[in-house]
Chain A
Amino acid sequence: MAAFANLSKPQARGRKPEPLPLSQLGAAALVKGVLDTDGEVEIHGTVQGRINADSLILGAMGNVEGDIVARDVRILGRLMGRIFALNVTLEDSADVTGRIFHNTVTVARGARFEGRMPWRPPSYFEALDQLPETQP
């Protein structure tokens, strides 16, 4: 649940002198379960499960099956599942199937997206402490 707390107080984190370290999941890595961080994470491998982060980059070789909850999300790889994020960017190599709950979204030309992109006000993400049940 830590990830949701982040969303509501971005200023507090910004005041910290040193930025939180970057975590990265290599192309050869596979995670089954939950990834939970207050910082930034880069996924180049495979994740089956849920990711909570402040900022997430899904690399071109990355593959996620599950839900992503973050403030900023940038997708270059494959996602099957849902995104709950204030700012979402789908780059041209993105391949996403599912739902993107967003406040702002950017989709590059060439990106593949199948599903729905419901807009939500920022307060929705701050108050988000349990993910809604949807059928992707």
Chain B
Amino acid sequence: MTMFTRNDKGQDTASPATAQPVRSDAQPAASPVAETRRPQAQPISSSSAAHGTPSVSVISKALKITGQLESTEDIQIEGEIEGDVRAVSVMVGANAKVKGTVRGDQVQLAGQVEGKIEAKKVILTRTARMSGDVVHQDITIESGAFIDGHCRPEYGKAEVKAPGLKTVVAGS
């Protein structure tokens, strides 16, 4: 890094993109480089990329995932997923569609799932459409919810293993 900052010093004054060409000569090498970089980091930015990294995942209605989705945090799904989902808390929104197994500590379903739900706590809201089995410890079914499948209170028992969230590799 030190090698580059040394080289930068000479180029700073020549570069039209840098905001403070005069100051960069007078100051120690590291700080003007850091200052002049920041403004450049904004051109396409329209969202939270600049302020910290969120841990919650939001799959919006325009997004479709084909494959496996895992998280050690919460996931909110409004789009379409073909594949398995695993997270601490999964919320499947009213217009969302999941084909596959949804696993988690808590699963709240307002949309459509074709497959299976395995969760400690399952909430099927009025708009839920569930085709497949639900393996749970604690279930709430609101009036209006649709289920085609078995509900078995066997979550955490021998045949159904706990989700094993600790094995999920977080983004590094």
Contacts and interface: CB of A to CB of B under 8 A. Distances in A.
Interface of A: 20-42, 44-46, 49, 55, 57, 59-63, 72, 74, 76, 87, 89, 91-92, 106, 108-110
SS of B interface (majority):
loop
Interface in B82-116: 83, 87
Interface of B: 4, 8, 33, 37, 40-41, 43-49, 53-75, 78-79, 83, 87, 168-172
A39 B47 CA distance: 13
Contacts of A35: 63-65
A11 to B, nearest CB: 18
Contacts of B8: 109
A92 B55 CA distance: 22
Contact of B60 (A23, A29, A106): A23
Nearest to A46: B171
Given A31-B70, A110-B37, 18 more contacts: A21-B62, A26-B53, A26-B74, A27-B53, A29-B87, A36-B64, A40-B46, A42-B47, A44-B54, A44-B171, A45-B57, A46-B170, A46-B172, A57-B47, A62-B171, A72-B44, A92-B37, A109-B4
A39 to B, nearest CB: 4
B57 A26 contact: yes
Contacts of B59: 23
A76 B49 contact: yes
A13 to B, nearest CB: 11
Given A26-B71, A33-B66, A45-B171, A91 B41 contact: yes
Q: Is the interface of A mostly helix, strand, loop or mixed?
A: strand
Contacts of B33: 109
A27 B170 contact: yes
A131 B59 CA distance: 25
B53 A59 contact: yes
User: Which of A38, A42, A76: most chain B CB closer than 10 A?
Assistant: A42
A31 B68 contact: yes
Given A21-B78, A57-B44, A76-B49, A27 B54 contact: yes
A79 to B, nearest CB: 13
A23 B67 contact: no
B63 A39 contact: yes
B132 to A, nearest CB: 20
